[in-house]
Amino acid sequence: MLEQFAKQYRVKIRRNTEDGTEVIEGRWGNIYEYSTTELGVMFLPPLKPGQTARTGMWNARRLEAESAGMVLRQSGDGEGSLSFDPSNPKQAAIALKIAQPKRRRRASPEQLATLARHGFKARPPALEGLISS
């Protein structure tokens, strides 16, 4: 389910080094597989030294998510997690807004034609996942 979501929204899946689970890492949090039918999004903003929790930012995102039908699973002062239906475009958009993963760019045909005129050749897509030998 996470692979399909990542492909649809052009984001990259990474393997968490701590527990080996697959997550979509973002600037403000992670998207992960919550159950067989739902994905979860965790809001964990990085804090600068001496900075307190990002309470206002979390509360605004939480209220927006709950109004769209996402389910609150954990709520702290400035962080928390919600689960959502990945087939619901509104909930998926809010989850991407909460985690803010870097999106993969897609070149348009005009950009590819311009690059070809300048002598650049398209590389084959990289293989994703673990390669076993």
Mean pLDDT (whole number) for 93-116: 85
Strand partners, 41: 31, 82
Structural domain contains residue 130: no
Answer yes or no: is 110 within a domain: no
> What distance in Å separates the CA atoms of residue 50 and residue 8, rounded to the nearest whole number?
38
Examine residue 88 and state whether it is found in any structural domain, yes or no: yes
Considering its fold, how many domains does the chain have in total?
1
pLDDT (tens digit, 9 = 90+) per residue, 63-74? 999 999 999 999
Asked if the structure places residue 98 within a domain, the reply is yes
Q: Under 8 Å CB-to-CB from 37, ≥6 apart: which residues?
A: 1, 85
Average pLDDT on 9-36 reads: 88
CATH no. for residue 85?
3.90.1150
Q: What is the pLDDT of residue 60?
A: 92
Residue 78 lies in a domain: yes
Q: How confident is the model at residue 76 (pLDDT cuts 50, 70, 90)?
A: confident
The residue range of the domain holding 32 is: 2-105
Residue 18 reports pLDDT greater than 90: no
- Residue 124 is assigned to a structural domain of this protein: no
45 located within any domain: yes
Instruction: Note whether residue 119 is domain-resident.
Output: no
